[in-house]
Structure 1
C-alpha cells in the first residue's frame, strides 16, 4: 500500500464533478448555427470563474469518467470560462450544437472516439480555423464520416495540413482517401488505419522518410504488407495484430507477417512489434531470429499466439528468454499484466487475460497481487456490458481480495473495485455465478466496515440476489452482508428497503425453514442479525414484519432454541424494535410470548435479560388499560424488570448500539412508571459510559438532557431514578455537553 492519498486537486475535482449541479445553472443557448436545434446548456453560476488549461482539461476528463458529459455540460467549456488545448471525448451522445464549444479554443490534440451521434465531418466543422491549421494529433477511431444527409466527405480530413498523428481505426476510410492522406499530409509520423476498407499499403511509401508508428490491426489480407513495410526504415512502432475473431476466421494462407519477419534487415529502428492474434502462422524460429537481429526492440505482443506459452517467451529462467523485452500474452503473470495495460479496449483479449489471471490466483494459499487488482479495474470499467469480461473480472477481484489479501490494497482502489462489482451485479442480475462471485468479494469484514462505497445500493443488490437464488452459499453470504450493511445505512435508506415486502418474506422464510428443521446454523444467525438491524429505527420494516406474522415465528424461534445465547439476544433485539413502534405493540401481547419474556428476564445472560426487559418496558409504557395479555399482569412483569436490573453487572464492552434515543424519550416521561424509566436510564447510562462522545451528543441534540434534570430534581422520584439521572448528567458535564 505505497500509494499516496489522493491529492487535494483530485479530491476537489471529484467533489465538483459529483455535485456539478451546485455550481451551474441552465440557459437556452442561442449562439449556435442556424441549422442546429437550440440546446439547454450549463453555465457557471459565477460568470467570472476561469479555469486554467490543466484544470479545464482535467475537469472535462472527470466529467467524462463519471458519464456526466453531454450537450449541456459541454457548454461549460466555452472560452469564456475555460481554456483547452487537448480534448478527449469518448462514447457520449452529443450533436453538432453540443460540440460548438470547440470553436472558442486553440486545440492541438483532439480525440473523439466511439461517437455514434455525430459525424467526423461535423466535428471538424466545429473547430476554429486556428485549430484546423495547427492541429497536431487527431483520433476519430470508431466514428463515422457519414453525416445526417448521408454525405460522406472524407477528404475534409486533409485540411489538417500540420497533422503529425492520425487515428481513423474502424471508420469508413477507403483506399481513395487513404491515398490522399498519405500524399497530402506530409508531416504524418503516426497513423492508425485498423479495420478500415483499404486494400493496398502502397501509398505508405510517400511517408517512408518520417513514419514512426503504424497500426494495421484487423487488416490481414491487405496487399503489399511485407514489401511496403520493409521500406519503412524509420518505423519504431508496428501493430499488425488480429482483434476481430471474424477476421481471424478468414483463410489467411501463408501469413504475410511471417514473410515480413523473414527480412532481418528491414525496420531497423523498431522498438515495438505487436503480432497478437496470429495463432498459427508465425514459426518460433522466424520470430526469435527477428528479435535477435533487432536489438532496439523493447516490446513484443503475442496474445493468442501459440508462441506465448513457449519457454523462450514465458519462462524467464529459460536460456533463450529475451530479458530485454516486455511481452504481452497469456503465458504467465507478467504477460497478463502487460496485456491488461495495453489492450483495455479489446474485450476478447481482456476476457482471456482475466480468465488466465483467475487460474493463476485461484490457489489455496494465494499471494498478494495488489498491482494486478489495480489493472483489473480499468478494463472492468471499460466493458460494463460485456458479460464475459464482467464474469471473469468479478472472479479475479474475489481471488485478489479474499481473506487478508484485501489489506494489501489501497482503500481508494478497493472502493473503486467494490463499486464496479456493484455495477456488474446491477447489469447482470440473472447470472448466478457472477452474483456469487460478487457476494464472495463483498463478504469481507474490511470491505464492509472500512471501505467507502454505496452501501444502500449494495443492500438492494444483495437482497435482490438473495430473493432470486436459493443456493445455500448465496443465502449465507447475503444474510451476513445485510446484517452488517443494515447497521451502516441511514434510517431513511433502511425504510426504502422495507417498502419491498419480498425482502422481509425471504428472510422470514429462511428463519422458518430452520425452525422447521431445528437447524441452528450460521445462516440462521446471520439472518436474525440482518432482521434485527433492518428493523432498527425503521417502522416500515417493523410493520412488514408484523404483517408477515413475524412475531409468531420469532416466538417459535425462542421456544425451539431455548438457552442458545447466540440466538436469543438477536430475537429479543428485533422484538425490542417492534415494541418501540406504538401501533405495533398489541401484536406482541401474546400470552405465550409474555410467558417466555417472564422467564428470560431472569436469564443469567445480561444480553438476554436486558432485551427482554426492554420489550416489557415498552409494552408496559402504554398503561394498564392496554395490557391485554392474561398470562402475567403488567405489575408482575414490572416487578421482574426491577429485580433483574438491580442484579445486572455492567458489561465491559458496549452491549448494544443505538441510532437514536428518540424511542427512549417517551419512557422518561415524568408520569411514567418508575420501572419503565429505570430500564431506559440504565440503557442510556450504559452506552454513554462506553462511547460518551457519540451518545452524549446524541442525547443533548434529542432533548434527553432536559428530562434527566427534571427526573433528578423531582423529590417524588425513587432514589434509583434520581441516582441514574445524576450519573448520566455527570457524564454529559465531563464531556462538556
Structure 2
C-alpha cells in the first residue's frame, strides 16, 4: 500500500479558487431545500419528512456531492429526514456513502441501501441497532468496502446468537456475521466480545470474507486465533492497532506473505513490550518481503539505539555477502538499502524516531515537524493519538516557528470536524487555531478558509458550551476576525452560541465580556432583516435578563453597558425589536438604572439612544406617553452627561412623541405636564448645543429624522430635526452629505423654507445644511476632475 493511500487530510487551500458552478448550485439547493424537495410535517409528531419533487432526478455525481457538501462544507449532521431525498433509487443514485458521525437510524440506513452501494461508512452512528446488520447483509453482495468503525452495537444480537449454540459443535453449525462475500475492505473498531470460550467471534466474522484486501481490527478483543487470516489470500493491508497480546499472533502474521501494509502499533503501554524486540522485528521483515509500510508506534520493537552491520559470523556464512549500510533500528537492518515507504515510530520506546539512520522515506514521530505532520495524516482516525499530536503542534508554536502553517490548519480543522464528540480534541484544536489566527498568515486567508475556521469553532462551542477552556480559546480566536467581512455569513449560529455564553453566569467573566462584545458588534453590523433575525433568537430578552441580574447585584460594569449598547443597535429601525424591549419591561429597567447609577455617562447614553429608536416607531409611542416617562425625558434635556448625547436623544424622543399631535397628548395619561411647556424646554436645550459638537451616534438612514419635516403642526420637532442634520453634515460631511442627497433631504428642506410659519432659527439651520451639501458635492467634483 502506497503512503498516499492513507493520507486523509483534506486541504482547506486546494479549493482556494472560486467554487465550481455545480457546488454553488448544490449548496444553494441544500440551503433552500424547497427548490428540489417537498417538505411535509406530521401534525401529531411534528416531524418533518422530505421527498424529491415530481419531475426531478439527480445523477450519481450530484447525489454524492450533495452528501459531501452537506457534511463538509455546511457542517450539517446527516439524519433520516435529509436522506429521504434519496428515497427513490431510480431518480437518485448513490454508490459511495460515508455517514460518519451522523444521526441516522435504521430507517435512514435502509433508505441508503436501496441503492447499489459499493462503499459504505457508518462509523460513529450510535442510533443504529441490530436491524442495521440485517439490512447490510441483505445488500451484502454489492458492498465492496464497509467501514463499521465504532458502530459495533449492531452486532449485539449476533453475540447473543452464539450463546444459544453453546451446546453445538461450531464446525457443524453454519454461522456468519457479515454476509458480504465480495467485500474487499473492512474497518471494524473497538469491539470487545464476551462470548463462550469455545467460540471465536472474529474467526466466524472473517472466515467467509475470502475477497478481503484491507482489514482493520483496531482495538478489538479478544483475537483468540488469527489463523483464519491465512485463508484471506488477497489480504495486503492489515491493521491491528491497539489489539491486546499481539505477541501471540506474530507467527501467524508472518505467514501472510502478500502483506504490504502492517500496523501493529499500540497506544497503551500494557501490551507494547516484546521480550526480544530486535529478533521479532527482524522476523517480520524477513517473512514479509512485499512490505512497504510498517507501523510499530508505541512499542519497543525498534530496540535500543545501536548501529549494526552484519556480524563476522553472518559474513562468513556467505562469502559474497557485503556489509549493508548502517541502521539505528536493528530489526530493520536488512531494509537499509530498500527503505520502507512508511515507518510508524510515534511514541516508541527509547525515542526511536530521533535516531539518524532510519530506513524509511516517511516516518511518524515527534522528532521534528515533518514527522508530526506525517503522524497527524496517518492517525487522523485515532483520537487518543491525535490529541498527543495536537499537543506536539502546540509546542511547535510555543517554542519555535512553524514552517508549514497551512498544513497545520488543515490538520486542526480535520481533527475537530471529524472528532466532534471528543472534547479534549476540540479544546486542543481551539488553542491551536488561536495561535494560527493571531499570526500574520491570517492576512492570506480567503473567505472559504475563514468560514471553515469560524464554523468549526462554532460547532465546538455549541457542543461544549460549559467547557471554559475551549470557550475562552474560541472567543479569543473569533475576535481576530472582522465581523462585517468574515462572520456575517454565519451570524445566526454565532448569535446562538454567544447568547448561550452570555445568558449563563460564568465564573470566567472574561469569556462573557468577549461574547457580549462580539454580540454587540454583530448587532451593529447587521442590516434590518438580520437585526430582526437576531432579535427573533431571543437576544433582547437575554440582554434584559442580564441587566436585571446586574441591577440585583448593584453592579454596573462593561458587560452591563454593552448589553444596553447591543439593544440600542438591535432596535435601530427595527420595530419588532423595539416592541420586544417594551414587552420585556425594558422601561422599568431604564428607570431603575437611572436611579441606581445616575452618574454613569456611557450607560445613560446607551439607554437614551435605545429609547430614541423606540420613539421612532409610531405604534409604540403611546406606551412612552406616561407622566413618569415624560418627566424623566424632560429632566434629561438639561443633562451634560456624555457631551450632548443624552440631551440630544431626550429631545429626539420628545420630538417624535410631539409629532403625533396635540390630540395624542390629550388622550394619554399625562395630566400635570403641559405639552407646550415640554416643547419650550426642548427648544431651550437645543439652543444650548454647539453645532461643532462631535457625535457618538451612527445613522444608516435619515428617514426617521426627515419624517419630522412633514409635521406642520409642531415646529419644535422641525427645530430638532434640522439642528441634527446641520450638526452631522458640518462635523461629518463626507459621511452624511451624500446620505441627505440620496434620501431627497435637500428637496424637503427647500420645501420647509417655503413654509411661512418656519421661524428664522430653523431657516438658518436649513440653509446651512443645503449649503454644506452643495459645497461638499462641489469638492467631490473638483477632486474627480483633478
Match of 1:164? 184
Distance 2:275 2:673 in 1: 91
Q: Does 1:19 align with 2:32?
A: yes
Match of 1:499? 541
Q: Secondary structure at the match of 1:87?
A: strand
Distance 1:340 1:535 in 2: 48
Q: Structure 1 residues 192 and 475 mapped into 2: Cα distance closer, same or farther (>3 Å)? A: closer
Q: Does 1:395 align with 2:431?
A: yes
Distance 1:80 1:403 in 2: 51
Q: Structure 2: which 5+ runs fail to align? A: 1-12, 163-172, 307-326, 779-786
Q: Does 1:584 align with 2:627?
A: no
Q: Does 1:614 align with 2:649?
A: no
Q: Structure 1 residues 68 and 308 mapped into 2: Cα distance closer, same or farther (>3 Å)? A: same
Deviates more, 1:549-558 or 1:347-356: 549-558
1:215 deviates by 0.9
1:70 deviates by 1.1
Q: Does 1:7 align with 2:48?
A: no
1:484 deviates by 0.5
Q: Structure 1 residues 443 and 27 mapped into 2: Cα distance closer, same or farther (>3 Å)? A: closer
Match of 1:138? 146
| Greater relative CO (CA pairs within 8 A, separation 6+) | 2
CA contact (8 A) 2:58 2:91 kept: yes
Distance 2:350 2:23 in 1: 42
Distance 2:430 2:362 in 1: 27
| Cα offsets for 1:269-304 (capped at 9, x unmatched) | 322222233379854459724455333412233333
Distance 1:274 1:284 in 2: 18
Q: Structure 1 residues 201 and 436 mapped into 2: Cα distance closer, same or farther (>3 Å)? A: same
| Cα offsets for 1:343-398 (capped at 9, x unmatched) | 33322222222233333324699888243223212221233333222222222222
1:44 deviates by 1.0
Q: Does 1:419 align with 2:460?
A: no
Match of 1:486? 523
Superposition pairs of residues 88-237 of structure 1, within 5 angstroms: 88-92=98-102, 94=104, 97-101=107-111, 105-115=115-125, 116-119=128-131, 121-127=133-139, 132=141, 135-142=143-150, 143=152, 144-147=154-157, 151=161, 155-156=175-176, 159-171=179-191, 178-179=202-203, 184-194=208-218, 195-207=220-232, 210-222=234-246, 224-237=248-261
Distance 1:696 1:530 in 2: 26
CA contact (8 A) 2:702 2:740 kept: no
Q: Secondary structure at the match of 1:145?
A: helix
> Which of residues 675, 682, 687 in structure 2 aligns to 1:638?
682
CA contact (8 A) 1:276 1:305 kept: yes
Distance 1:154 1:415 in 2: 54
Deviates more, 1:269-278 or 1:704-713: 704-713
Q: Structure 1 residues 126 and 453 mapped into 2: Cα distance closer, same or farther (>3 Å)? A: farther
Distance 1:80 1:694 in 2: 59
1:118 deviates by 4.4
1:213 deviates by 0.8
1:259 deviates by 1.8
Match of 1:407? 443
Q: Structure 1: which 5+ runs fail to align? A: 30-38, 313-318, 515-521
Deviates more, 1:423-432 or 1:169-178: 169-178
Q: Structure 1 residues 302 and 726 mapped into 2: Cα distance closer, same or farther (>3 Å)? A: same
CA contact (8 A) 1:236 1:270 kept: yes
CA contact (8 A) 2:373 2:408 kept: yes
Distance 2:224 2:564 in 1: 68
Q: Structure 1 residues 465 and 181 mapped into 2: Cα distance closer, same or farther (>3 Å)? A: closer
Distance 2:599 2:261 in 1: 75
Length-normalised TM-score, structure 1: 0.77
Q: Secondary structure at the match of 1:113?
A: coil
Q: Secondary structure at the match of 1:220?
A: coil
Distance 1:627 1:621 in 2: 19
Distance 1:578 1:26 in 2: 38
Match of 1:254? 275
Distance 2:741 2:107 in 1: 54
> Which of residues 358, 361, 369 in structure 1 aligns to 2:397?
361
Q: Secondary structure at the match of 2:286?
A: coil
Count of residue pairs brought into register by the alignment: 690
Deviates more, 1:660-669 or 1:393-402: 660-669
Distance 1:422 1:176 in 2: 45
Match of 1:573? 609
| Cα offsets for 1:109-165 (capped at 9, x unmatched) | 3333344324464133442xxx71x54333333333345995479955675444332
Match of 1:519? none
Q: Secondary structure at the match of 2:343?
A: strand
> Which of residues 60, 78, 94 in structure 2 aligns to 1:68?
78
1:24 deviates by 1.8
1:442 deviates by 2.3
Length-normalised TM-score, structure 2: 0.73
Distance 1:494 1:547 in 2: 18
Match of 2:10? none
Distance 1:270 1:693 in 2: 76
Match of 1:302? 345
Match of 1:517? none
